[in-house]
Structure 1
Amino acid sequence: MITRRNLMAGLLAATLMPSVLRADPRPRARPVRTGAGAGVGVAKAVPTDIEALIANARLGGSVSFAVLDAQDGTLLASRAADEMRAPASTLKAVTALYAIDRLGPNHRFRTRVLRAGDMLILAGGGDPVLDTDQLAELAKATAAAEKTAGRPAPQRFAIWGGAIPHHDEITAGQAAHLPYNPAFSGINLNFNRVHLDWRQGGASVEARARRNSPRAYTVAVEVTDRGAPLFAYVPRENGEGWSISRRALGKSESRWLPVRKPELYAGDVFQTLCRAQGLVLPKPEVITDLPAGDEIASHESPPLTEIARDMLDYSTNLTAEVIGLAASGAGTIGASAQAMQDWLQAKGVQGAFLFRDHSGLSAGNRVSARMLAEVMAGPARSAGLRGLMKPIPLRNADGKKIPSDITIDAKTGTLNFVSNLSGFAQGPQGRVLAFAVLTGDEERRAATEGQELPDGVIGWTRRSKGLQQGIIEAWVAQYDRSAPALAVPAAPQPTDAPQPLEDAVAGAG
């Protein structure tokens, strides 16, 4: 059965870097010999086998890590733990904590339809996970309300996205066609992506969801025979467009493209869905001021904890930026990131960090391994974030999942030639470790900024992920031991939420 959650995974597969699996065998860890100064707050010596793992990974860049006892914060081992690195999407763990703390686990984003005189208004409330199927239900409710009221057809149809300030993109420096760097505002649909389907010489663009996939009329596509660039964004007065080289598509292909005018995109799709319900709306227009009006229909997002769980699972950049801005109330990504940084410092985290956004996509973000490990052992453990984090399976040298008595719940972070992991690891004796492993080749990352799968990146990332697993296995072999049961707070839950459903979310990340 296809569910909205299954669809989300499918959408992600078309836009994210292919899965990379470990291929290098690793030496087994040996016991660590500790120096006389080892103790609380002092890192023990790095096991020599971990150094061998690092050498064997052949990453050609830097490797830093920190591992703490999650119960008392004791630093167990570290390597270059205070050096500043690009966090990539591990930053989303901080964003999840920040948004839940500021907005509350019960917070839901509301998309409303208002009637103000002769104008119908689609008013976004910042919902980062609104999809076409949900918009179709809203269109159905709107048409029914209008029919019941017996009002004349609206003479104007407006879209308001002012609940979240409009941003043309998440960060500069990315290739224009990359779907993980779309525009966003207070009205967002399908993570502000459209689905391009190229078949037998023809191209169609759809607002694709599980049950409804209407054409996106505001997005035009022209296929040309030119060489470079393969994708070129073409602004239009009443929409947007793409000029795409036939070389980028081949004979048959589909892919997701980012939307730069999310208000018009959502209005266009809503107009089509209302027409299917017998409600004919005028051409959509974007408004910046929301007039007073009567609410005739609405849609509520899932509670914030569900949104955060899926953001951590699928690593959706748009979700991170929207919930971060909603939490801060700031007008720009930079100001909002600074507010999140101030909040984290107030929580007592002492490690070095510098935030430029909420998703980790900006090249200006910097964190240290010590800082991320401290977040896990401190605010994340206290808030029960582990219950929202993604289980990371162990794999063999062929990349296949293997049974293991080690459990890892963590957030990954991947950019070109950056691969990080931060979260919790627990061995059979029950000791919980809070950790961060940061690997990166800054020179190659900077040289390939914004490129899509540059040469060598898949193999590099595969080796890094293998290294991360090897380091965690070495830690568990060394530090896992019988210990008093750690009281792990439950993941934050909305008090009025229904039982979780498999298809509770939709979209792509």
Structure 2
Amino acid sequence: MSRPFVVLFSILALVVLPHSAIAGGFEHIARLTSQGYTVGAQAQLLDNGEVLGEIAAERQLSPASVSKLYASAAALERWGPQHRFTTRLVTTGNIDAQGILQGDLVLEGGGDPALATEDLWHLVQGLRQQGVTAVSGTLVISQWRYGPVECITTDRCESQVRSAHAYDARLSSAAVNYGNWCVSVMPGARAGLAARIVSCDTLEPALVVDNQVTTVAAGGKVRLNAERVTHEGVDTLRVSGQVPVGSVPYPVYRSSSDPARQTGHTLLALLEQGGLMVSGGFSTSDTPPPATARPLASVEGKPLQELLLRTLNYSNNFMADVLSLNLVDESRVSLAEAGQALEAFAEGLPGHGPATLLSGSGLTTENRTSAQGVNALLKAMYQRPALFPTFVAGLQLPANGPMRFIRRGGETFQSHVMLKTGTLNQPFAVRSVGGYFRTRSGRWGSFSVLVNGNAKTPYLSWSEVLDPLAEDLTAMIDAH
């Protein structure tokens, strides 16, 4: 056979090679490319760096919520697993003989991504322990570090006036309850009556509730629709539908239009419930308390290792972005500046390559990284023994993770793989996965698969990604 013919034959062979020869370990995932999807994938053993499979591993693609792996890893490296964010009540005033605080009471937001109503109640109790019985001034909610953060995604921008979701909450260093209002819907005494709607947090709802829910006969179905609308700074929650007699309380969560104002409404209600009346109502501020302010009460949030469990297990967008904002030391920080901190972290990872990370949540559709980059992150965390246990604990095991849609594949995939998923549907479909696996012999490996659609590709279900991924990873796990 002449040399020119050999070369021509080799080129033709590459053209007609099956996916298995091109994909190198990701034979099943590679089939998505024939449907018009763009794929980047890589799997490696972590003890010796052996690559078990890859598809265009350096290709820059949208990771969606796999971005949260970067925010979590950067937070762990910065603060360590036991770090806690502190929220304080401070004042420049004095407490008189009757227990009246003569001056303003300032809540200084510490950027706790999981500050909850119970934490605010602890602050109220702290005031009572200081002998405070009333406040003559104003309750000031200080979000001087950041907030409300300028929106750069469509959903958060639209949520300033209307929201039918919980995930699109705006960002503030003084936010409570992930920037969400919560009410419980309960049936009336008998069919035909209006349902009862009560606050999850305070004796009376701290926002306006438009109750259009009716009670139906026992055995009926719960059907609820809820939307928060805002007019002239007032949040109104419109709830419609039906609940049957005898049904348990049904919680409804919707993002607030202004998290700091939500905190003000909630804390003011809790102070009054505790018998501490505030003469001047509340206001919000983006300036720090005076240097002369002294603390009256403080509450430490949950340790970072617990925050990351919630951030990763439930893919909490609010928590991921607040953690990212906290990485920037300057005040009045923007989400873009937080993204720059994440990009700098990624650039410092050996073998990572370029990355564009405009947010830690992945809600920004411009985020880009590669399968190789995600694997570099996973390898770097595996090599940090003081941080790895906390980091890997936030990933889901398909067999028992809280997201039921990941329960795919056989026993090997179910019990040998720990993963984080990412989903976007607009402006194009994204299904991304990254995580770790253990081989039959107990060796650790990492993997990443990024699948991006375009305007012409159809809707992509998770089964179309997880089922072939399970087959490919199972083969790698069984072979080693």
Work out whether the TM-score is over 0.5: yes
Mapped to 1, the partners of 2:267 and 2:178 lie a distance apart of: 15
What per-residue deviation string (whole Å, max 9, x for no partner) do you get for residues 464-507 of structure 1?
Answer: 222222221122133x1xxxxxxxxxxxxxxxxxxxxxxxxxxx
What per-residue deviation string (whole Å, max 9, x for no partner) do you get for residues 93-145 of structure 1?
Answer: 11111112223333211111112221111221111101112221221222232
Percent of aligned positions that are identical: 21
Mapped to 1, the partners of 2:30 and 2:363 lie a distance apart of: 26
Alignment of 1:388-427 (within 5 A): 388-394=393-399, 403-404=411-412, 406-416=415-425, 417-427=429-439
What per-residue deviation string (whole Å, max 9, x for no partner) do you get for residues 432-482 of structure 1?
Answer: 11110122323379x9xxxxxxxx56xx1233222222221122133x1xx
Mapped to 2, the partners of 1:387 and 1:196 lie a distance apart of: 34
Mapped to 2, the partners of 1:390 and 1:368 lie a distance apart of: 19
Contact 1:65 1:79 (C-alpha < 8 Å) held by counterparts:
yes
Secondary structure of 1:434 counterpart: strand
Give the equivalent residue in structure 2 for 1:166. 148
Give the equivalent residue in structure 2 for 1:29. none
Contact 1:71 1:377 (C-alpha < 8 Å) held by counterparts:
no
Give the equivalent residue in structure 1 for 2:392. 387
In structure 2, relative to structure 1, the CA distance for the partners of 1:359 and 1:154 (3 Å cut) is same
Say whether 1:146 aligns with 2:131.
yes
AA aligned opposite 1:468: L
In structure 2, relative to structure 1, the CA distance for the partners of 1:469 and 1:80 (3 Å cut) is same
In structure 2, relative to structure 1, the CA distance for the partners of 1:469 and 1:462 (3 Å cut) is same
Mapped to 2, the partners of 1:110 and 1:398 lie a distance apart of: 35
Contact 1:394 1:469 (C-alpha < 8 Å) held by counterparts:
no
Q: Pick the structure with greater CA Rg.
A: 2
Mapped to 2, the partners of 1:106 and 1:135 lie a distance apart of: 21
Higher RCO (CA 8 Å, separation ≥ 6 residues): 1
Q: Root-mean-square deviation (CA), in Å?
A: 3.4
Report how far residue 421 of structure 1 moved.
1.4
Mapped to 2, the partners of 1:475 and 1:353 lie a distance apart of: 28
AA aligned opposite 2:373: M
What per-residue deviation string (whole Å, max 9, x for no partner) do you get for residues 217-239 of structure 1?
Answer: 24554769xxxx984632333x3
In structure 2, relative to structure 1, the CA distance for the partners of 1:409 and 1:296 (3 Å cut) is same
What per-residue deviation string (whole Å, max 9, x for no partner) do you get for residues 55-112 of structure 1?
Answer: 4899752332101121233323101222222111111111111112223333211111
Provide structure 2 residue ranges, at least 5 long, that are not aligned to the other structure. Answer: 1-19, 94-102, 188-192, 214-224, 245-249
Mapped to 1, the partners of 2:152 and 2:177 lie a distance apart of: 16
Moved more, 111-120 or 174-183: 174-183
Contact 1:165 1:185 (C-alpha < 8 Å) held by counterparts:
yes
AA aligned opposite 1:82: E
Provide structure 1 residue ranges, at least 5 long, that are not aligned to the other structure. Answer: 1-43, 448-455, 481-509
Give the equivalent residue in structure 1 for 2:38. 62
In structure 2, relative to structure 1, the CA distance for the partners of 1:401 and 1:82 (3 Å cut) is closer
Contact 2:29 2:465 (C-alpha < 8 Å) held by counterparts:
no
2:442 to 397, 410, 430: 430
AA aligned opposite 1:440: N
Moved more, 352-361 or 165-174: 165-174
Report how far residue 397 of structure 1 moved.
12
1:51 to 24, 27, 42: 27
In structure 2, relative to structure 1, the CA distance for the partners of 1:59 and 1:463 (3 Å cut) is farther
In structure 2, relative to structure 1, the CA distance for the partners of 1:73 and 1:107 (3 Å cut) is same
Give the equivalent residue in structure 2 for 1:217. 206
Alignment of 1:262-411 (within 5 A): 262-282=259-279, 283-289=281-287, 290-291=289-290, 292-329=292-329, 331-382=333-384, 383-384=387-388, 386-394=391-399, 403-404=411-412, 406-411=415-420
State TM-score, norm by structure 2.
0.76
